Structure 1
Amino acid sequence: MPWTGDVFTPPAELPTIPTGLPLVVALTGFTDAGSAVSQVVDALRERIVSTPVALFANDAFLDYRARRPVISFDADHLSDYRPPRLEIVLASDEMGKQFLALTGYEPDFGWEMFVAAVIELAERYQIGSVTWVHAIAMPVPHTRPLGTTVSGNREELVEAHSVWRPHTQVPATVGHLLELRFSESGTPTASFVLLVPHYLADAEYPAAAIRALESITIASGLALPTEDLREANRDFLAKVDEQISANDELATMLQNLETRYDQYVQGSPLRAASFDDEDLPSADELAAELERYLATRPGDDDKRSR
């Protein structure tokens, strides 16, 4: 295997990997509104039984000064150095169905080298499909279903689940490059972009992670854990709604978002309008009143470096 060593390290005892497994990709970084991907990574690592397949070399892909690892200082000595992990594992869902998962931080360097290594591994194990998730901030209300934009070469998923289909240019991520290369090779590939309310984009929004995991299920048939996230989301939404209901200006702005959203999805004359029309409230206007609550949420900076 030519990519071992400087690029990734396989375990001493490589597990037996059946062919035709789905590959799930969740990489934190640039497009992680609501910490959706960070929470998915946590769910896959903490709630799913897995076996390492490949550990990618941080020295090849990580900018240590931009995303510094954590180390503990214990009175008079250092311990417990925790470098972030970028890895592929063999996992089993809640029904025992096996799949491969590529999780961790988005590489800062060596995108082409990283993508080539992932594709080589995918070809070696003859994966059956690729599904990846990420999230962007959009001026949509949290009181409506969280929508997705779907891309890739699985037209049935695009037709059924893509609520917004822009023609635009966006800053690329390594996930986009993986999608492009897999699609070009003919591998069934789907990307789900979660459209997260812009005023919750900097919070750890459990509903975004739930929608991400549900999207993976739609594309792959995997049964993934969401119960803890659903409980956390109930508490999160109750506190956000409490803040909004106590402020008439916020309530009015939310109502305007709901009206514009409903007109868009119901095919009214405003359907052709963009989600980001200038007359929609800005993120700062709504987020300012929520800041006191959101500031009490756990930070996600360390999670985004995983």
Structure 2
Amino acid sequence: MTHRIFAGRTLVVAFEGWNDAGESASNAAKFLAKQLNCDVVGAVDPEDYYDFIFTRPSVAYDASGNRVINWPATEMCAPGVDVVSESPELGRVHLLIGTEPSRRWQTFTAEVMEMIEDREIDAVIFLGAMLADVPHSRPISVTATSQNEAARAAFDLERSHYEGPVGILSVLGVALEKASIPSIALWASVPHYVHNTPSPKATLALLSELEKYLGVQFEHGELAQEAFDWERGIDEAAEADEDMAGYIAQLEKTRDEVESPAASGDALAMEFEKFLRASEEKPDEDDSAV
């Protein structure tokens, strides 16, 4: 059953880059956009906010065979009319999908907030993913926090007490709180030793957690198979690498010793702060260091 906080129009937000280990969060949002047959209802002009040397546009051919440039963008999407007609409850789910901006974050945030106001968004759910010392062979942990008092009370959540460098999700979160729009943040822990490839298992974990708050169920079939294949592929790689196998076994042992690993908020909070501090210690190489 949907809680009243998310009973109205709810915006699900994910950005590629520093907030998006294993592309888990952005792929979760893109998966939803496909399922909802979304239409773009608002966009931020990329020219003002991206350094194209670091966040490069790409070239492709469209359906007519024309060569076109695809620019990094931040777009707000709404479910297609056909989807809403068949499942009216999905009409309240909107998406904001983009690439973390390179500059002018305050102006960027103001533009996003205008779109949120124009679309009469009632609540926001952020999706993020961080690299952590966790094994791929165990359930992917997802931690939920909120800076909003009503959301914390409704879902028995903790607020984040982290202080330090942040990504665009945190900047938007502060702006939402000032506007009295409740939000929560869902963060998946992605095994750091497989950070160079997308993690469908983490994407699936985020989607499953998101469904609990939205009170809706999406079809996971294809993604569930991808998650299984991802885990199996790492198992096979570890079988051929003794050092990797030993390291994973140690992570599994540590994880199994935790009384309730899937719900260990303190442990996840520690991993989150460790991840953010590690990012502070090394210079940014590009926007993909979200």
Do both share a fold (TM > 0.5)? yes
- Paired residue for 1:264? 258
Give the equivalent residue in structure 2 for 1:175. 169
* 3-state SS of paired residue (1:30): coil
Separation in 2 of the partners of 1:95 and 1:261?
40
Q: Residue 216 of structure 1 aligns to a residue in which SS?
A: helix
Q: Counterparts of 1:166 and 1:248 in 2: how far apart (Å)?
A: 38
Tell me the TM-score normalised to structure 1 length: 0.72
Alignment deviations for residues 74-103 of structure 1 (CA, whole Å, 9 cap, x no partner): xxxx82222233111112578441122111
Letter matched to residue 96 of structure 2: L
CA 1:140/1:42 → structure 2, altered by over 3 Å: closer, same or farther?
A: same
Point out the structure with max Rg over C-alpha. Answer: 1
Q: CA deviation at 1:167?
A: 4.8
What aligned pairs does 1:178-197 form with structure 2 within 5 A after superposition? 178-197=172-191
3-state SS in 1 of match to 2:203 = helix
Which residue number in structure 1 is paired with residue 227 of structure 2? 233
Q: Distance in 1 between the 2:242 and 2:202 partners?
A: 26
Deviation track 1:97-131 (CA, whole Å, cap 9, x = no partner) reads: 11221112112222112222222332333322100
Write out per-residue CA displacement over residues 113-164 of structure 1, whole angstroms, 9 at most, x where no aligned residue. 222222233233332210011111000111211112222122157646x7xx
Contact conserved, 1:25 with 1:133, CA < 8 A, in 2?
Answer: yes
1:11 is matched with: none
Quote the residue 2:121 is aligned against: 127
2:132 partner amino acid: M
1:166 deviation in Å?
A: 7.4
Q: Which amino acid aligns with 1:131?
A: I
Instruction: Give the counterpart of 2:152 among 151, 155, 167.
Output: 155
CA contact (8 A) 1:32 1:135 kept: yes
Match of 1:25 among 13, 24, 27: 13
Greater helix fraction, Structure 1 or Structure 2: 2
Q: Answer yes or no: is the 8 Å Cα contact 1:35–1:202 preserved in 2.
A: no
Contact residue 44 and residue 111 of structure 2 kept, 8 A: no
Change (3 A) 1:84 1:46: farther
Q: Tell me by how many angstroms 1:241 deviates.
A: 0.8
Contact 1:33 1:135 (C-alpha < 8 Å) held by counterparts: yes
Aligned CA distance change for structure 1 residues 263 and 36 (closer, same or farther; 3 Å): same
Within the alignment, does 1:208 sit opposite 2:202 as a pair?
A: yes
Structure-2 residue corresponding to 1:105? 99
Distance 1:171 1:56, change over 3 A: same
Task: Summarize deviations over 1:209-267 as a string: whole Å, max 9, x none.
Answer: 11122222222224334321111111121121122234443333222111212223449
Task: Report how many residues are paired.
Answer: 252
Once the two structures are TM-superposed, the CA of residue 192 in structure 1 deviates from its matched residue by 0.7
Q: Aligned pair in 2 of structure 1 residues 197, 121: CA closer, same or farther (>3 Å)?
A: same
TM-score, structure 2 as length reference: 0.76
Counterpart contact for 1:24–1:102, Cα < 8 Å: yes
Aligned 8 A contact 2:142 2:206 in 1: no
- Secondary structure of the residue aligned to 2:258 is helix
Show the counterpart of 1:70.
Answer: 58
Secondary structure at the counterpart of residue 140 of structure 1: coil
2:281 maps to none
What is the alpha-carbon distance in structure 1 between the residues aligned to residue 245 and residue 40 of structure 2? Answer: 48
Q: Which amino acid aligns with 1:35?
A: E
For residues 183-207 of structure 1, what are the alpha-carbon distances to aligned partners after superposition, in whole Å with 9 as ceiling and x for unaligned? 2333221001111111122211111
Change (3 A) 1:90 1:137: same
Contact 1:140 1:261 (C-alpha < 8 Å) held by counterparts: yes
Give the 4+ runs in structure 1 shifted more than 6 A.
none
- Are 2:47 and 1:59 aligned? yes
- Cα distance in structure 2, aligned partners of 1:166 and 1:23: 20
Residue 166 of structure 2 aligns with an amino acid whose one-letter code is A
User: CA-atom RMSD, angstroms?
Assistant: 3.1
Distance change >3 Å, CA 266–CA 223, structure 1 → 2: closer
Q: Which structure 2 segments of 5+ residues have no match?
A: 1-6, 275-287
**1:49 paired residue number:** 37
Higher relative contact order (CA closer than 8 Å, sequence separation 6+) = 2
